[in-house]
Chains A and B, each alone.
Chain A
Amino acid sequence: MPSKAVTATSVSDNPQEYEAEHVHAVYDEIAPHFSSTRYKPWPIIAQFLSSIPPGWVGLDSGTGNGKYLPLPVERPGSMWTVGLDRSRNLLDIARTAGGVHREVVWGDVLGRPWRDGAFDYAISIATIHHLATHARRKAAVQRLVQCLSHDHGRALIYVWAIEQDELSKRSIPLQAHAEQATQLSANGSGQDVFVPWVLSTQSKPSQKSNPAPAEDQRASNEIASRTVQNAEEAAPKVYNRYYHMFAKGELSELVIEAARESGLHVGSRPTNVGPNKEVPRRGIEIVQDGWERSNYYVELRCWRI
């Protein structure tokens, strides 16, 4: 019986190779099965996309199977989200997400294959936590902000949290050590873990087996659902995916650090702007910063004077 527990890990000296082995290769292997369990958008993300005006064009950086590309469902085609992902096999699924031809690009979240300020909005959902060092996660945030309109760009970033909700606590042994989780969170540095994906060659992916609420969260549901399947199937294969579980406050700190190091002011747009006044000319404002269903999220807006 393969272990389905989330286990602590430490990143090797070469984070790039480490990600290639423990993130990129895994997603290419598990793409169809993974995709069959990722079909329901999260409320906060759906809400964000519904608030985007018609005519805007956006980037889904780490689009996976492209489940956010068809949104908002209430007015399809009123805006365009381009999906980028590192996994070619997931992109083959994303290119027709929702039964319509989508725009998808094979690329890395650390690249910037866009003209400056190309996008009006961007989302980065369950992606940055796959980068293996703080510096690389920060660079990913910087790349995301760089491709946004300086005047009005908006972004939403979601990452996995150390603080798991009740449902997850039952299925993730790591979280049984609640004390340890609190300590890790308190020092603000997060926790590097492996999250196993158990893939059986005979397994027929079932959408009904994940009653959620944590349908998007990349650990608890598959672990729970696979428990039942594994009982009747022989020799399933386990793929360990690398995750950095974020501590409380770590994501907003990361965004603030990324922005400041890019020369951006962090805070609301100055309102009293006289001709002789020394005020910052470009910045980002964090408009939402929270925890929901085992994830941390930050929403930001760009401004320029």
Chain B
Amino acid sequence: MVRLITHNLLACHVKGCTSNNFPLQFKDVQIELREAEFNPDFLRNFMPRIEWKALVDAARQLGDTSLPEEQPEMVDDEFLQKLHHVLLEVHVEEGAMVCPNCNHSYPISNGIPNMLLAEHEIG
């Protein structure tokens, strides 16, 4: 699956591609929305771990503009519901993720991203 929770962790690992290699840019994506169990305890504790700008930008690429530019200091349930939806309910099923630095393209097929590189390509 590529949901935005995973996209927020992935980076390009092509040899020599060590700066501006995160976040990967979505390309030609097909999306499915699937409900997931809401867990506010997880979200509150996970929030400090998120690369916020990357998440907001990625959500916009997928057509979701519900998140604010800055991570809010006061966190209420309404906000957590939005965050939950963006992180865990938007599934990228097909398409690709492209490195903003070296343009390497990582295909997504049947919901599974292909992050394999030939060994000589790995940094």
Contacts and interface: CB of A to CB of B under 8 A. Distances in A.
Contacts of A86: 116
Looking at chain A's contact residues, the main secondary structure is loop
Contacts of A302: none
A55 B51 contact: no
Contacts of A118: 9, 11
A78 B13 contact: no
Interface stretch (B58-66, B69-77, B106-114): B106-114
In this complex, the interface size class of chain A, counting residues with CB under 8 Å from chain B, is 35 or more
Contact of A114 (B9, B36, B49, B122): B9
A110 B119 contact: yes
Contacts of B27: none
Interface string A64-90: 000000000000111110101010100
Contact of B45 (A55, A88, A92, A104): A55
B93 to A, nearest CB: 11
A266 B116 CA distance: 31
Contacts of A104: 1, 112
A95 interface: yes
Contacts of A102: 1
Interface residues of B, number: 37
A85 to B, nearest CB: 10
B62 to A, nearest CB: 16
Contacts of B13: 111-114
Contacts of B6: 82, 103, 105
A88 B122 contact: no
B53 interface: no
A118 B7 CA distance: 11
Nearest to B32: A101
Interface of B: 1-3, 5-6, 9-13, 22, 34, 36-37, 39, 41-47, 49, 51, 91, 106, 110-117, 119, 122-123
Lowest 4 A-B CB distances belong to which pairs? A55-B45, A113-B115, A107-B115, A77-B39
Given A107-B116, A114-B9, 16 more contacts: A16-B119, A54-B41, A57-B49, A77-B37, A78-B42, A80-B42, A84-B115, A95-B111, A105-B10, A106-B115, A108-B117, A111-B116, A111-B122, A112-B123, A113-B115, A115-B22
